[in-house]
Structure 1
Amino acid sequence: MSKPQPKPLPKYIKLEADRVTVTLTKPAELNGITQDQITLRAPTVRDVRNASKVANGDEEEREMNLFASLAEVGVKDLDGLAYKDYTRLQDGYFRLVYGDEL
């Protein structure tokens, strides 16, 4: 029996060992600059713990804080993304963190 192959990487994701860059469907304002991509650096345990502390058990809030920290943008910037682009960001994050396990 052969090992299942991971899903191919979507064209909107550029995955590197220590970061993932996600191309947005439409430009968004991030830190006051209009951009068509967001890059997340790989998280540390400290990043995840800090995001959890701030969120007080709210998983949605934890994820938003974590992504904002990894992208070095404000949570309000992520709030302004099209939902499709936010789901792309989630996909990129999970591929960065879990890699071949997907």
Structure 2
Amino acid sequence: MTTKKTPAWLTVSADRVTVTLSKPTELNSVKVDTVSLRSPTVRDIRAAQQGAGDDDEQRELNLFASLAEVSAKDLEGLALKDYTRLQTAYFRLVQDDDV
């Protein structure tokens, strides 16, 4: 069995992940170098789906924005490398502990 090493830019706790960005960016009109995502609820997932219809990318943006408590437009301004880090962090947050 292989264990995935946690990247240096990622901090994981039971109900939250924090991503260190590759470069500071502005979220909620504040320059930040980290983004935290809280653990999602079923309500979060349903709300993200309702706001996006059949658009998978928009659904993910809506969900991440809700979990980070920022606007989807702010997340759209992230460097692709940092958005990919958010995706990795999210999947690490929701994976089963046995994996």
Equivalence for 2:72: 75
Counterpart selection for 1:17 from 11, 14, 17:
14
Q: Distance in 2 between matches of 1:101 and 1:48?
A: 22
1:36 matched to 2:33: yes
Report SS of the residue matched to 1:35. strand
Count of residue pairs brought into register by the alignment: 99
- Matched residue SS, 2:51: helix
Alignment RMSD (CA, Å) = 1.1
Following superposition, the deviation at residue 5 of structure 1 comes to 2.5
Q: Which one of 79, 83, 97 corresponds to residue 94 of structure 2?
A: 97
Structural mapping, 1:26-65, within 5 Å? 26-65=23-62
Gaps (5+ residues) in structure 2?
Answer: none
- Equivalent residue of 2:74, what SS? helix
* Structure 1: gaps of 5 or more residues: none
Runs of 4+ displaced beyond 3 Å: 99-102
The residue matched to 2:26 in structure 1 has which SS? strand
CA apart distance, 1:57: 1.2
Deviation readout 1:8-44 (Å, 9 max, x if unpaired): 0000000000000000000010000000000000000
The TM-score, its normalising length taken from structure 1, stands at 0.93
Please report the TM-score for the alignment, with normalisation by the length of structure 2.
0.96
Distance between the aligned counterparts of 1:83 and 1:50, measured in 2? 24
Task: Quote the sequence identity (%).
Answer: 59
Larger Rg: 1
Which digits, 9 at most, give the CA deviation of each residue in 1:63-94, with x for residues without a partner?
A: 00000000000011100000000000000000
Query: 1:99 and 1:13 mapped to 2: Cα distance?
Result: 17
